Structure 1
Amino acid sequence: MTRRIVRTLLQAAAALITTLILVLVLDRNYRVLPNSLHAHMPTHHPGLVVTDVTIAQCSSVNVFSSCNLDKQKWTRVEKDLLLGKSWTRSAFLFVSRKREEDLIEGDSVVMDVTVGRLNPGSASGASEQWEARPSGIWLKRSMSHKASDDNQAITDVDVVFGDDAVEARGHWSIVGVPLLLNTENHFSAHLTVRRGPHVQEKTPKPRFNDNGRFRIMQVADLHLSTGVGKCRDAVPDKYHGGPCEADPRTLEFMAKMLEEEKPDLVILSGDQVNGDTSPDAPSAIYKFAKLLIERSIPYACIFGNHDDEKSMSRAAQMAILESLPYSLSLAGPEDVDGVGNYYIEVLARGKSDHSALSIYMLDTHAYSSDERNFPGYDWIKPSQINWFRHTAEKLKAKHKEYTHRHMDIAFIHIPLHEYLDHTNPRVGAWREGVTAPTYNSGFRDALVEQNVVMVSAGHDHANEYCALSMQDEAGSKEEQTPALWMCYGGGIGFGGYGGYGGYVRRLRMFEIDANEAKITTWKRIEHGRKVGERHDEQVLVDGGRPVAPQGGT
């Protein structure tokens, strides 16, 4: 019995020793012990780090070339660096990444990246060792595992396009010169990198100012391109003494208005991206987003018929918009038609948690889903109307707790069928035929039913009026009462059409006064005598109700 006990104890001791030896051996590969026992392992931002970057080019006339690398090591950034502009060649960026806890001895972490013809270390001495990669990429890597814990470590790499390319994402920056791809007739491609961990952006909470007022800027139809774009119907057609470049001129006007009007919220009401001329939608999105982010202005987007035309899908664009700083944009419920059906609550002044204003954003889609019977543009679907009604009803109880008059407004891209009624009183110019859907889905009636006082659209660039839709149930036209203001933002983008009587690009402002439940609107124009003035200023709502215009067309 004693001999058996001794044998058992010896076996247990041997097993324990074996286990300890195995742990120590495995620990040399940094895979067993917890991070707290590894002084060299990252502690404050676990995730992926970049260990290498390269570019592969391939030719359709060379069967031995390939734009694919070992998928076990490399992740391809799915953007042709030539943007499909070459008939015979393609090029792709590849990034090698590892989870920080999977780094082993001998792995290198990329600490810096640049692009240029010359070794960037040649000017700073031999202490900085840079490694060359194709197309002018230079990497500085560290063999130390502590490097992955550095906030300057490269954790992601991407590409943006165009001579006017910018970066709007938090902790991202464009590095060096454009990639040296040895090709002509394509948009310049820029390497952009993220340093340190991914940071989840906080969603801002819009609130009325201490004076009880809140300003909204509607920016309609930017029509931004990949690259500077081409001006259409520009007034004047020369700019700063030279030919008009669409995006720089559009964004310069927008930036000036942001500085002068100082909006509390910017609504981008569709066709931010000109799909035909923007093969890389993110490059266009970052241009307008950067203007807003650097001024700390919250913004919200819906889509138009051009945003995803020959470009990135709405869902993918919305995912980008949702991730950007100061963005209030949301994809909306998955069981509702479209991408971008959501609402924004603007809180009352002070520290109140009560909503003083609700803003409904709806996706008006693109082209008719029944071209044979209803040619032209699409319409708001039953699932959207049901979602809107249900949401508005659900919010009413909470809104009644607000001690002042709560108001509701809405933004869309394609105008409602009721915009076709030219007999409605209006303020502003009707310059072109209204391209509303020929099918009436009844969304205007749902807006009136839920006491929405104003809706504003884009889409028809040269129409820039507000028309008053009257209450149908009052009897004769003389006895009807105001029901809903239907406005246009007026197109701002020089990449979209203008025309129609020398249309001057513009944008629309709304000022909501919670003290009097009043909404005032005006427009600002890009060129001409009234460039510094408020144009067609009018009161839309007073005492929480739509009011008829004084005069009007």
Structure 2
Amino acid sequence: MQVRTGIQLGVLTFIVFLLVFFLDNRYRVLPQSVHNRLPLHHEGLVITDITVNTCSSLNPLSSCKLDQDKWHRVEKNLYLKSGYFSKAYVHIKRKREEELTDDDKVILDVKIGKLDPAIGEKSQAAEKWESRPSGIWLKRSAKRHASDSKRVITAVDVLFGTDAVEPRAGWELVKPGALLLDTGSHAREARLSIRRGPPHKLEKPVPRIRKDGKFKIVQVSDLHLSTGEGVCRDPEPKNHNGGHCEADPRTLEFVERVLDEEKPDMVVLSGDQVNGETAPDAQSAMFKIIQVLAERHIPWAAIFGNHDDEGSLSRLNQMSLYESLPFSLSEAGANTIDGVGNYYVEVLAHSGKHSALTLYLLDTHGYSPDEAHFKGYDWLKPNQINWFKAAAQGLKESQSHQHYTHIHLDMAFIHIPLPEYALDLPIVGNRLEGVTAPGFNSHFKDALVEEGVKVVSCGHDHANDYCAFSKDVKTGEGELWMCYAGGSGFGGYGGYGGYHRRLRVFEIDSNQGRISTWKRLEYGDVAKRLDEQVIVDSGKVVSPQSA
């Protein structure tokens, strides 16, 4: 009887585990899940304590929350998807600065480690290090004036991976390393990030034509960054570095090299910055490319692909982050139209307030909302196209455009290619895979031509890197170049016969009304400008033969 009872209890425990396991995994990917929320850190708050609370996933009654009247939980499970039997969360105590009493302590420093940091300190400070779970050590002060110090901790967040970076102004990763958790050898380590002092107010950069009349844009598409270093897909050449390939480090090294050589005035991130399937913490993945740009003080603008919001953050939350980061030109756009990230960027003349170049950026969404009739991918909606046309027409009538004395130029960036990319048109570059455009044509290409946009460039199809020339069927004159960036990230597919990752460069010459473009390779003839061509000259679309 006791054996049977033991077996029954074991079976019951296993059933409970399975229920919690499947519910937990389902819970992780729901759009409104706790992992889809960003930590809230209000101005005027200071952190008075930090701890980690661990609980069992086998207990369906456990919420893993401390007293909510005293503690705020950072809504990121420190185990991500690796701790099927355990959950752990960072909790913080915080108070408004004006509410601090003489008995309250504020945190001046945080370290991670097994040993008391005081052991390695040369001088004995008045404040002692206090131990907390998971290797956290806090240095706290009871002095009231300490809350006014620039050292005081005012916000706490969690990032993941040995390659985690912190691009936010005023924020820093706690050293020397990860929280001490029993996560196993294959887990993405959890790192504490802290902000000192009040939030930094960032001024939005104002992109301008250089003194020589030129402006260079590097288009970076399909990075497919992960939480952690990621796994390479279809690396080329396969024997590079002895066959050892870590996706994100190799991708970012490539991007950094091109940025340092090309020295662009702006970068456009044209979607799939994040590989949702391998980014259980999208924030950690996003921050890697932003750190690269912030270190170089390069203004940048981002739109989304079909994979960005398949991880832990919605498009809206990601764009909220993008908008808050250094050198960002990104905008969520109007919430009255479909998508997140429908906006434009004005590039001003070298001096003055007149616009020399307008860049339109639009959200091409993800997958078809009507798979039965239109398989594959989503399309630009009528209200987006109407917004674009109204914006373009309004800008043309503005003084900023009308008083510009040179030829004003317009370009557009999207992620998913338009159906017209698949037409039998003259191309410059490689068409190595099928065009995965929407099955439904909302005729955005016609709107681009009507409003005088000369170039549109997309991502999505990693091994296509061509520019297609479209002309007016009646007059034979060029009307639009439709380009691909080419895939840049090793976390996304490559394949197709030794295809090397690449980036596209656009150089605008405002004095000549000219747009030139070329590509740069990750491997091979890396210094060469591949398929360099003039696609717009004197404000007119140039055919491949005359380029």
In structure 2, the partner of 1:435 is: 436
Contact 1:46 1:100 in 2 (8 A): no
Q: Structure 1: how far apart are the matches of 2:63 and 2:519?
A: 54
- Partner secondary structure for residue 290 of structure 1: helix
- Partner secondary structure for residue 364 of structure 2: coil
Q: Structure 2: how far apart are the matches of 1:123 and 1:417?
A: 63
In structure 2, the partner of 1:69 is: 66
Alpha-carbon distance, 1:66 to partner: 4.8
In structure 2, the partner of 1:391 is: 391
Q: Structure 2: how far apart are the matches of 1:378 and 1:154?
A: 44
In structure 2, the partner of 1:401 is: 403
- Partner secondary structure for residue 285 of structure 2: helix
1:59-458 pair list within 5 angstroms: 59-62=56-59, 66-124=63-121, 126-127=124-125, 128-176=127-175, 177-184=177-184, 185-349=186-350, 351-398=351-398, 399-421=401-423, 423-458=424-459
Q: Structure 2: how far apart are the matches of 1:61 and 1:360?
A: 50
Contact 2:82 2:183 in 1 (8 A): no
- Partner secondary structure for residue 241 of structure 1: helix
Alpha-carbon distance, 1:122 to partner: 2.1
- Partner secondary structure for residue 228 of structure 1: coil
User: Cα distance 1:119–1:515, how it changes in 2: closer, same or farther (>3 A)?
Assistant: same
Contact 2:339 2:364 in 1 (8 A): yes
The AA in structure 1 aligned to 2:532 is E
- Partner secondary structure for residue 347 of structure 2: strand
The AA in structure 1 aligned to 2:537 is D
In structure 1, the partner of 2:491 is: 495
TM-score for both structures, normalised by structure 1: 0.89
The count of aligned residue pairs is 500
- Partner secondary structure for residue 454 of structure 2: strand
Moved more, 384-393 or 64-73: 64-73
Instruction: Give 2:533's match in structure 1, choosing from 528, 531, 538.
Output: 538
Contact 2:281 2:311 in 1 (8 A): no
Alpha-carbon distance, 1:238 to partner: 3.6
The reply on whether 1:519 has 2:515 as its aligned counterpart is: yes
Alpha-carbon distance, 1:551 to partner: 7.6
Q: Structure 2: how far apart are the matches of 1:65 and 1:490?
A: 47
In structure 1, the partner of 2:12 is: none
User: Cα distance 1:216–1:63, how it changes in 2: closer, same or farther (>3 A)?
Assistant: closer
User: Cα distance 1:64–1:401, how it changes in 2: closer, same or farther (>3 A)?
Assistant: closer
The AA in structure 1 aligned to 2:418 is L
- Partner secondary structure for residue 308 of structure 2: coil
Moved more, 181-190 or 513-522: 181-190
The AA in structure 1 aligned to 2:435 is V
The AA in structure 2 aligned to 1:162 is G
The AA in structure 1 aligned to 2:173 is I
1:234-284 alpha-carbon deviations (Å, 9 max, x no partner) = 111244335110000000000000100000000000000000000101101
1:429-467 alpha-carbon deviations (Å, 9 max, x no partner) = 100000000100010000000000000000000000000
The AA in structure 2 aligned to 1:371 is E
The AA in structure 2 aligned to 1:488 is Y
Contact 2:43 2:199 in 1 (8 A): no
TM-score for both structures, normalised by structure 2: 0.90
Alpha-carbon distance, 1:62 to partner: 4.6
Structure 1: segments with no counterpart, 5+ residues = 1-44
The AA in structure 1 aligned to 2:66 is L
Q: Structure 2: how far apart are the matches of 1:212 and 1:408?
A: 16
Q: Structure 2: how far apart are the matches of 1:244 and 1:182?
A: 27
Contact 1:57 1:65 in 2 (8 A): no
1:292-327 alpha-carbon deviations (Å, 9 max, x no partner) = 001000000000000011331000000010000001
Q: Structure 1: how far apart are the matches of 2:318 and 2:506?
A: 27
The reply on whether 1:482 has 2:483 as its aligned counterpart is: no
- Partner secondary structure for residue 240 of structure 1: helix
The AA in structure 2 aligned to 1:108 is K
* Aligned residues: CA RMSD: 1.4
Contact 1:329 1:340 in 2 (8 A): yes
The AA in structure 1 aligned to 2:48 is T
Q: Which has the larger radius of gyration?
A: 1
- Partner secondary structure for residue 255 of structure 1: helix
Contact 1:57 1:66 in 2 (8 A): no
Alpha-carbon distance, 1:361 to partner: 0.2
Q: Structure 1: how far apart are the matches of 2:190 and 2:277?
A: 19
User: Cα distance 1:416–1:361, how it changes in 2: closer, same or farther (>3 A)?
Assistant: same
Instruction: Give 2:53's match in structure 1, choosing from 56, 80, 85.
Output: 56
The AA in structure 1 aligned to 2:284 is S
Alpha-carbon distance, 1:96 to partner: 1.0
Alpha-carbon distance, 1:46 to partner: 6.5
1:192-214 alpha-carbon deviations (Å, 9 max, x no partner) = 11111101211000000000000
In structure 2, the partner of 1:34 is: none
The AA in structure 2 aligned to 1:81 is L
1:376-401 alpha-carbon deviations (Å, 9 max, x no partner) = 10000001001001101110022111
Q: Structure 1: how far apart are the matches of 2:389 and 2:179?
A: 51
Alpha-carbon distance, 1:126 to partner: 4.4
1:88-124 alpha-carbon deviations (Å, 9 max, x no partner) = 1110011111111111120111000111111001222
Contact 2:270 2:305 in 1 (8 A): yes
- Partner secondary structure for residue 321 of structure 2: helix
Contact 2:267 2:299 in 1 (8 A): yes
Instruction: Give 1:506's match in structure 2, choosing from 485, 497, 502.
Output: 502
The reply on whether 1:549 has 2:539 as its aligned counterpart is: no
Moved more, 458-467 or 167-176: 167-176
User: Cα distance 1:376–1:142, how it changes in 2: closer, same or farther (>3 A)?
Assistant: same
- Partner secondary structure for residue 310 of structure 2: coil
Contact 1:222 1:496 in 2 (8 A): yes
1:403-423 alpha-carbon deviations (Å, 9 max, x no partner) = 1110110000000011110x2
Q: Structure 1: how far apart are the matches of 2:341 and 2:60?
A: 44
The AA in structure 2 aligned to 1:533 is K
- Partner secondary structure for residue 519 of structure 1: strand
Contact 2:73 2:91 in 1 (8 A): yes
- Partner secondary structure for residue 452 of structure 1: coil
User: Once superposed, which parts of structure 1, at least 4 consecutive aligned residues long, lie more than 4 Å away?
Assistant: 62-66
1:513-532 alpha-carbon deviations (Å, 9 max, x no partner) = 0000000000000111x211
Q: Structure 1: how far apart are the matches of 2:59 and 2:528?
A: 61
Contact 1:275 1:307 in 2 (8 A): yes
In structure 2, the partner of 1:459 is: 460
User: Cα distance 1:498–1:192, how it changes in 2: closer, same or farther (>3 A)?
Assistant: same
Contact 1:238 1:244 in 2 (8 A): no
The AA in structure 1 aligned to 2:454 is V
Q: Structure 1: how far apart are the matches of 2:255 and 2:213?
A: 25
